[in-house]
Structure 1
């Protein structure tokens, strides 16, 4: 299994675990919203209503995770030669000006998800994120700037696979 295949496997594993947690939370919130102890005695008792809002929010989040999970299960990984521009499914190693390295996987969904393999943390970013937009079309050796003013960061693209 290549490094990138391992990262994809870890993303699917993490999304599966997240889905299970959120799905169970949605079920519990739904059950609380319809439980007989939460039936209001008057118009000021809103526990059942509040639980139904929580249940709906959890159900919506579960659906988002399910869509991301299904997308990653069907994802076809691309190989990136040295001169091939970065696009979806690229695993990119970046180096900041202070020498700290950061690894990102450009995925179609679940931006911000973090997985760890062999002590190296990989963050999923999407092409629509600021860093994703900056990386798309670049190649190893290029630099990318993210942010504005004093919050601007510059990274060198060390490796793309």
Structure 2
């Protein structure tokens, strides 16, 4: 798997998300300021609700802009066994059922699935529970996280 190509996919997806968020900001702002939505009494809250929605969309757009900036500046380094898994690592984990999952530990904007050849790759932030758990680990190490009442166990199979 090519880290550069994965990074390009992340940038493309974030750019698409930003475009959608900016369109949502404009639509919510237009709704909030439209003359037909001016409150006629204290129970007429459509304009106020649209303003709250616009504020949320503005925050989302700003978060995406920040993620874009972080990913543009990001330069994944080769895996260094002395440091263990760091941001930029491509990691293959295997669970107790021998199910493998591929992760790309990035600077921001997790929860994105990418495709590399025939493999699905989950983008993961170092702030996510699994991201924090794998930092510093090496091939062969065990990783354990608690998700609600369930403890999940993994082994680090490969790191690039």
Normalising by the residue count of structure 2, what TM-score does the alignment of the two structures yield? 0.92
- Equivalent residue for 1:62? 61
- Equivalent residue for 1:78? 77
- Equivalent residue for 2:12? 13
Q: Secondary structure at the match of 1:159?
A: strand
Aligned length: 160
- Equivalent residue for 1:137? 136
Q: Secondary structure at the match of 2:6?
A: helix
Tell whether the 8 Å contact from 1:106 to 1:124 is kept in structure 2 after alignment: yes
Distance in 2 between the 1:37 and 1:29 partners? 14
Distance in 1 between the 2:34 and 2:10 partners? 36
Distance in 2 between the 1:119 and 1:15 partners? 22
Matches within 5 A, 1:105-144: 105-144=104-143
What is the deviation of 1:148? 6.5
Normalising by the residue count of structure 1, what TM-score does the alignment of the two structures yield? 0.91
Q: More strand by proportion, 1 or 2? A: 2
Distance in 1 between the 2:19 and 2:36 partners? 27
Tell whether the 8 Å contact from 1:34 to 1:48 is kept in structure 2 after alignment: yes
Q: For each residue in 1:24-63, what CA deviation from the matched residue of structure 2 results, as whole angstroms up to 9, or x when unmatched?
A: 0111100110011111222211100000000000010000
- After superposition, the CA RMSD in angstroms is 1.7
Q: Secondary structure at the match of 1:140?
A: coil
